[in-house]
Amino acid sequence: MVFKCKNCGGNVVYNPERHKMHCPYCDSLESEQKETTGESLTTCINCGGPIEVNEFTSASQCPYCDNYIIFDERVTGEYTPHLIIPFVFSKERVKLLLRDKFKSCVFAPSDFLSEAKLNSMSGMYVPFWMYDYHVRGVFDGQGNKIRRWRSGNTEYTETSVYHIYRDMEVDFDKMPVDSSDAMPDATMDLMEPYDYKALEAFKEEYMSGFFAERYNQDALAGEPRAVDKAKKDAESILKQSISGYVGVHSALNNQVTLQRTDTNYALLPVWIYNYKYKGEDYRFHINGQTGKIIGKVPVAAKKVWGYGATVFASLFTIMMLVRQLLLMF
């Protein structure tokens, strides 16, 4: 499908700043009209030009007419997302964020924050599985409390040994795990957290203007990572409830058991900035809702050493001058 403007026929896209559909050609708001006839995965629904999509792509942009196309069969039926967080940051605002964050990075290549490079950024809805869990954690072990005092020239140490027992239950709400092979897992984990208050029921309109994928694996295949996260969090909550002890240990295996109570398929917004430097790819991911930036800036190593030498020389000279001044007064 493609969203077209009733007034001018241009491609209407979702505008994060206005929270509305917007026609960038005639500046109309909410003038969209959904068109679905002539849809195909190989040709553009708007101009008929040949397009290339991989097996997971659910929204893309036609390289000929620049229209944003949403592939119906990948957002309906079993692929219908339950939830979506629409983009909050527009491309312009992400540019500002990046410029602000890296403006002091003098070691980055000079065109790293150039307008042309930043314009190549694309917004993508990444498929996520979200699991709800009911977790029960039990700890059965021992710990010591130590009291120490002095009398005369003797030091006394009193060790109190405690039996520690905890039985805890906790509910986790929407433990997220991305379901896109193209997205590095570690990076997606760093994208978190998203603010779930903005979760909405899925609407196709939000996708217009962005790229998207449908989930790459089903909910079952994605679950181990979520189970891992939930167990780790539960263990850490359990640990926090055991305080004031030294040498806490347990002979028993501590059990954390969990049970999935609900599963949701959601699309979450991510801006992607690809930058090539000296033959290497540097990929930036920006949380499309919160603006959190994840990515490594390419660094010109020679420059860092040069600046480091300057830091050394200046600092040493300054300190020697201060020393001289102190001696003279």
Q: For residue 304, what are the CA distances in angstroms to 135, 150, 273, 299, 307?
A: 49, 54, 24, 8, 5
CB of 281 to another protein, least distance (A): 14
Instruction: Give me the half-sphere count of Cα atoms (radius 13 Å) on the Cβ side of residue 300.
Output: 12
44 binds Zn ion, rule: CB under 5 A: yes
* C-alpha closest to that of 51 among 118, 9, 2: 2
64 binds, among another protein, Zn ion, none (CB under 5 to 8 A by kind): Zn ion
87 binds, among another protein, Zn ion, none (CB under 5 to 8 A by kind): none
* Residues in 36-65 that interact with another protein by CB under 8 A: none
323 binds another protein, rule: CB under 8 A: yes
CB of 37 to Zn ion, least distance (A): 15
CB 148 within 8 Å of CB 156: yes
The span from the CA of 57 to the CA of 35, in Å, is 19
324 binds another protein, rule: CB under 8 A: yes
Q: How far apart are the first and last CA of the chain?
A: 81
Please say which residue, 221 or 299, places its beta carbon nearer to another protein. Answer: 299
CB of 151 to another protein, least distance (A): 9
The span from the CA of 122 to the CA of 99, in Å, is 16
What mask, x for binding another protein by CB under 8 A, covers residues 225 to 244?
----xx-xxx-xx--xx---
* Residues in 77-106 that interact with another protein by CB under 8 A: 106
Please say which residue, 182 or 309, places its beta carbon nearer to another protein. Answer: 309
CB of 291 to another protein, least distance (A): 12
CB 141 within 8 Å of CB 120: no
The tokens of 51 are what?
């397009």
Please say which residue, 79 or 107, places its beta carbon nearer to another protein. Answer: 107
